[in-house]
Amino acid sequence: MTAEPDSALHADAAHPSRREQILQAAARLFAERGSRSVGVDDIGAAVGVTGPAIYRHFAGKDAMLAEMLLRISERLLAGAEQVLADAGDDPAAQLAGLIAFQVDFALDNPALITVQDRDLGALAEADARQVRRLQRRYVEHWVGVLAALSPGSSTADCRARAHALFGLINSTPHSGGRLSRPVMQARLTAMALAAATA
């Protein structure tokens, strides 16, 4: 409580605004129990306020979930496009970049990974459609790279392979985390690379 939240515009990592605190706490709780099992009172308590205080910052519980999932999808898509731009025209380098990016994201944000693929169905249809559109674009970037690396494969085949790689990399939240981060990072990267070129 010592530091002033002063301007609430920036997402300062050291002193996040109350709104950001709520989103982060909600993400953690949603990941642990599922969005339907978490009450607004729980979310409020996690940041030291009562339940209804949430409504000063969000239109409702579903709006929180929608913003959460939209942000995740946007960050992933933007990250992938940045990676592809940086990697030049070499498909092998692009694949390595995408894998490294996804591994980093999954290790840094296990809760978001969990929520993203568990609670998409809890969104209103309009929001769900928009999230799926972003996810689809993200997947298609992977599909393009995989197709460039294996000209004989169909698009559907590449898509299945991409989903399998996501499953592999996103297994992090289930792995208990008894391994140090660099070791885990190396393991997942190696396995994903081996699986991708199988």
Partner DNA sequence: CGCGGACGTGAACCGTGGTTAACCTGACGA
Partner DNA sequence: TCGTCAGGTTAACCACGGTTCACGTCCGCG
Asked if residues 158 and 147 have their Cβ atoms less than 8 Å apart, the reply is yes
Distances (CA, A) of 185 to 50, 108, 180, 189: 38, 11, 9, 6
Please report whether residue 149 would count as binding its own copies according to CB under 8 A: no
Residue 15 or residue 163: which is nearer to its own copies going by CB? 163
Please, which of residues 77-116 interact with its own copies by CB under 8 A?
none
Please report whether residue 11 would count as binding DNA according to CB under 7 A: no
| Gap between the Cα atoms of 18 and 8, Å rounded | 8
Residue 60 or residue 177: which is nearer to DNA going by CB? 60
Q: Which stretch binds its own copies (CB under 8 A): 17-25, 65-73, 140-148, 170-178?
A: 170-178
Using the rule CB under 8 A, which residue among 10, 15, 33, 133 binds its own copies?
A: 33
Distances (CA, A) of 40 to 26, 31, 67, 90, 172: 9, 15, 16, 48, 27
| Gap between the Cα atoms of 185 and 133, Å rounded | 28
Please report whether residue 197 would count as binding its own copies according to CB under 8 A: yes
Note the residues at the interface with its own copies (CB under 8 A). 32-34, 36-37, 117-119, 121-122, 156-157, 159-161, 163-171, 174-176, 178-179, 183-184, 187-188, 190-198
